[in-house]
Structure 1
């Protein structure tokens, strides 16, 4: 990924998919916006949407001109998980369900592994696998109406879409089990208290936009590398993490993006010292 921060001009927006696609990708300068777009089905993921999700995620992860991502959803719900109705009526068997899950997992892996910060704007129901899709985001803003539920065991199924890993990473193993093993529904306030979301806002879309804009206006690549270090750290030893941290901070130190800020900080510190000495 380039050391040069991407341009922050968002005056020109580019759609890379028809508005009828089940997952939309819109570019606004260095900002990428991913929108789940099956509102009539509460954005539940069917086989076609799974493929589109993987395509969009791979495109975003591979594009080094992207500096921030907003993940949102059309309609009154963020994501109701897998489209169980479609699975039932289409006669899908277990092998097909496994294949669909793996396709969605490819997209989840692409986005969690991308060195770019992601903010999610969440409203309404977030259920089952929708939790995993939401937790792809590094920062989650929920509306006061948001409700978070598992529902896997209610229909005799088990977690997928990264939920068994991403959920305990977010809220701890005990609380993850409480959500998965009991018919618990968290409202937005409880989700904030548990650490499942970062903020509750009356207008989560506007708040997500403000956060993304702040990332793009700041040390954009540093935010992305910080995200990468934290996301990768759980799968590695402490010694490996220390080595990666040392290499990454050294590489960052030599970038124009960092040097400009370091020099400005040093100059301001020197001015404060001179002022204190003469006062």
Structure 2
């Protein structure tokens, strides 16, 4: 268990620059093979491209690092651990507790500010928590609205603050999800991209791989199953699975964590699902409007 994982936010050696470099090399090879006169413009064009990726990381960097460190220290004081670092950009969010059930996690228990794993149930954005480390207890206000943000399928790269480029979340569709509302677990119909549900759950599980009783392999397989259930074509879902298996959280591959020692004092809302009428509920994002 890693209660305080290291914070790594290198300025140059990061995935954004790697992706831009690979794309640039591919274009240069194609130009060298088929269109020699395009090589020079491509080399010149690399300068503004790298600046477009680098400047959003440089401007405000010190303040972002200060805030991240402060949040991590607060989490260690309150919970006894902090989550793995997440770099963003945060362009999507939910403002309700989302529930995902999977028998793989039966007998697993974990409680944190943003993620609950309780005997087969995963709750993301559970609500304000009250922790007593001395007593080993935690309580939640499931009825109080909070906001959980994530970036969708990653990586995503901010470019000159005018665009965000990266892994697509694909087309929008209607999808039923489980949520907590008025003290009950209910069904809620969302209109969001086909990969949003899977990427949201995967993001939350990855955030706490250092302390939660969930392995990277289990999170990756759940991500793949959720993509298929959402209607993503099998080939595309396989590509996304391949990417997270071989590229995501590589330092967590051998991580194994026990159940939490905290005891939840708040009864979790009942398991029986009640369908709500179709309403214009949506996951907010930069691209979606209610």
Q: Do they superpose with TM above 0.5?
A: no
TM-score by length of 1: 0.24
Write 1 or 2 for the structure with the bigger share of helix.
Answer: 1
Write 1 or 2 for the structure with the bigger share of strand.
Answer: 2
TM-score by length of 2: 0.24
